[in-house]
Amino acid sequence: MKMTSRSLAVLLTVATLIADPDIAAAQPAAPPAAPGTTPASAADAAKRAEALVDKAKSLYLAGKYQEAEEALLVAWELNPTFDVAYNLGNTEYKLQKHREAAQYLSFALRHWPLLKGVAKLKPNAEKWLAESRAQVGALKVSVTVAGAEVLVDGKVVGRAPLEGEVFVDPGEHRVEARHLDYEPASQTVSVGKGGTAEVKLSITPEKAEPRASAGVKTEGGGSATGAGAGGPVVGQPPAGSVEPPPPPEKRNWVPVIALGAASAVGLGVGIGMTVASSNARSDADAQRAAILSRGPGCVHAPSDVASTCGAFEDDTRRAGTFGTGAIVAYAASGALAAGALVYGLWPRSSVVSGSVGVRPTAFVAKGETTVGVVGVW
């Protein structure tokens, strides 16, 4: 599919890689913004990160790897994307910080864009990762509850399910999982150079504390809790009374936040696709006008018009493709938002612990794709 520079600019941000100044790499879409982040603040963070990458490039080329690392770490905090990860991994490799290099390079390779301009850089990243990986250990961590916070040696490394391996220095490490209303779980493992340790953590809901029963004073000044004390048993309701219902369980807002963030991403993709479709349609209209001004049309067109006719057909197809993509993105965004709304507003008293589930699902029927929300209560 051919893309004009204007359409490409709508979807991709171009950044220069410090490892090869002559190559421009297309940066993939940024991860979902944190709740409360506005488009303006996200754009400002991306702009500041780009300036830091440019600064790091100059420092790297001057052999000042330590200073380049400092600038790139700040850029990573502002905008954790493929190009920043590639540059950071390259710099950490130069500094012989193999654990950090492996972490950033593995991220870059997982998110490598499918563009010819950066294809020749990939073998370098794979080589540096292999050399760094041979000097460190790796942990494959899985947790029974999604959204649980995962810590290695007391430092948070992400939330379950983790996207890739966690690279560590050779030796013994403590891995822990935490989640609201769940008992934490931990495991200590040892891993050597080039080795991999698999860690499976199972966390269970917290148990309610039992209510203590008080004694009933007897005439002799003692106390009793049984029926032989001559009065009702303390801590049990009188005969014929109804025990009050237990307090409602706390609602887990992690699914609402995740669905809301995913809905925002889908909306952003839909807007981008809409703009790209509009741009392609404008290009096609301009080419059509040029074709009509130079002859009857594309049927039996002279050679000087044939290339314009080909570009017109390409732009028309792109406009349709982007338009369809926008519709799918808007549908997915709406379905995810509906899932978040249903889960957030559904009465808590009707929710049975361990049986709640809301997820977006794609249905395919007769060549058409529909995005919906499946919920279980």
188 lies in the same domain as 156: yes
Q: Which of 205, 221, 236 is the last residue of a domain?
A: 205
Lookup result for tokens 């808590």? 348
- Do 259 and 296 belong together in one domain? yes
DSSP helix/strand/coil, 317: helix
Q: How many domains does the chain have?
A: 3
| Domain extent at residue 162 | 136-205
Residues 283 and 359 reside in one and the same domain: yes
CATH number, position 144 = 2.60.40.1120
Checking if the pLDDT of 371 tops 90, the result is: no
Same-domain status, 89 and 170: no
Classify residue 214: in a domain, yes or no.
no
**Cα(85)–Cα(231) distance, rounded to whole angstroms?**
72
- What the block records as the tokens of 264 is 């925002």
| pLDDT confidence bin for 54, thresholds 50/70/90 | very high
Each residue's pLDDT tens digit, 308-348: 777 777 878 887 897 898 798 788 878 878 877 777 777 65
Encoded tokens for 142: 């899985």
Residue 115 has pLDDT above 50, yes or no: yes
Q: Which of 24-33, 41-50, 224-233, 237-246 has the highest mean pLDDT?
A: 41-50
| Whether residues 47 and 127 fall in one domain | yes
52 and 155 housed in the same domain: no
Has residue 160 been placed in a domain?
A: yes
The radius of gyration of the chain's CA atoms, rounded to the nearest angstrom, is 30
Residue 264's pLDDT is 87
Has residue 366 been placed in a domain? yes
Residue 239 included in any domain: no
Percent of the chain having pLDDT more than 70? Answer: 66
pLDDT in tens, 59-74: 999 999 999 999 999 9
Looking at residue 89, what is its pLDDT? 94
* Domain-terminating residue out of 184, 205, 226: 205
Does residue 127 share a domain with residue 97? yes
Q: Do residue 367 and residue 296 come from a single domain?
A: yes
Are 342 and 264 in a shared domain?
yes
Q: What does the pLDDT read at residue 340?
A: 74
Average pLDDT of the chain, as a whole number = 75
- The answer on 167 and 264 residing in a single domain is no
Taking Cα atoms as reference points, which of 82, 66, 85 lies closest to residue 30? 82
- Residue 356 within any structural domain of the chain: yes
Q: What is the pLDDT of residues 218-244, one digit of tens each?
A: 444 444 444 444 444 444 444 444 556
pTM to 2 decimal places: 0.49
State which of 80, 112, 133 marks the end of a domain: 133
- Which CATH number fits the domain that encloses residue 128? 1.25.40.10
Is 306 part of any domain? Answer: yes
Q: Does residue 67 share a domain with residue 143?
A: no
176 and 294 part of one domain:
no
pLDDT, position 297: 65
Mean pLDDT over 72-86 rounds to 93
Q: Is 371 a domain residue?
A: yes
Is 190 inside a domain boundary? yes
